[in-house]
Amino acid sequence: MKVNYIHDFNQKTEEEFLNIQNSLKGKINITNKIDLENIKVCAGIDIAYWEKNNETFGACSVVIIDFQTKEVLEKVYSVGKISVPYVAGFLAFRELPLILEAVEKITVEPDVFIFDGNGYLHHNNMGIATHAGLFLNKPTIGVAKTYLKINKADFIIPENEVGAYTDIIVNQKVYGRAVRTSKNVKPIFVSCGNNIDINSCYEIAMNLVSKDSRIPVPTRLADIETHVLRNKFCNENIR
């Protein structure tokens, strides 16, 4: 799959990261560019890390499934050294190089990508799902397992029913949605990445959860795969 490289990854400081985010914010589109009835293929993306000889390494997994049957159609991955330390609010600069390397190996092109992380639900509306969406030119969705509090805005816990949700409002704008995908389990936090609206994000996420997990099947499978990759590569020499 072709990736549209809208910037390089030579930035090293928080000021440079912020400048890039601010330059891209005007390109974010949280209106719908996807027909839910015509979705055939979707992808889940996740990354696992490990430390070796005081260096950080990562493995990115992209798992592509049939939207209706949930059958796995393709799995691709990338593995490499992580050169950017974790800095809150700037995760994309740490993860995107590996993500884009993996995505370029895809032969079964997805209609939508789902990320284990936030999108518009971010201090600068530039979570990993949103930032990546600008490179991918595809609808992207962020699905996080924990809540990122923005401007001290709490969320209202959804009712204890499958499909119950509450919108997360920050500065009178909908940043995301707390969603109860299973009864008696914690909610997940769904937000737009790019080229999609919050209602479509919700519908897609709910369609992709199963009795085995509160998170969508593609990201659950990608998470499992990253652990397999980490176990495989953590003892090998990676440049």
All structural domains of the chain, each given as residue ranges with its CATH number in brackets, are 14-233 (3.30.2170.10)
This prediction has a pTM of 0.95
Q: What is the pLDDT of residues 195-207, one digit of tens each?
A: 999 999 999 999 9
Is 167 within any annotated ligand binding site?
no
Q: What is the pLDDT of residues 117-134, one digit of tens each?
A: 999 999 999 999 999 999
Backbone angles phi, psi at 84, to 5 degrees: -105, 125
User: How large is the angle between the packed helices 128-136 and 91-103, nearest 10 degrees?
Assistant: 40
220: left (phi over 0), alpha (psi -120 to 50) or beta: alpha
Mean pLDDT of residues grouped by 10 in the chain (239 residues)?
Answer: 94 94 96 91 97 92 97 97 91 96 98 97 96 97 95 93 96 95 95 97 96 92 96 76
**SS3 assignment, position 74:** strand
Torsion of the alpha carbons at 154, 155, 159 and 164, rounded to the nearest 10: 180
Is 46 within any annotated ligand binding site?
yes
Backbone angles phi, psi at 151, to 5 degrees: 50, 40
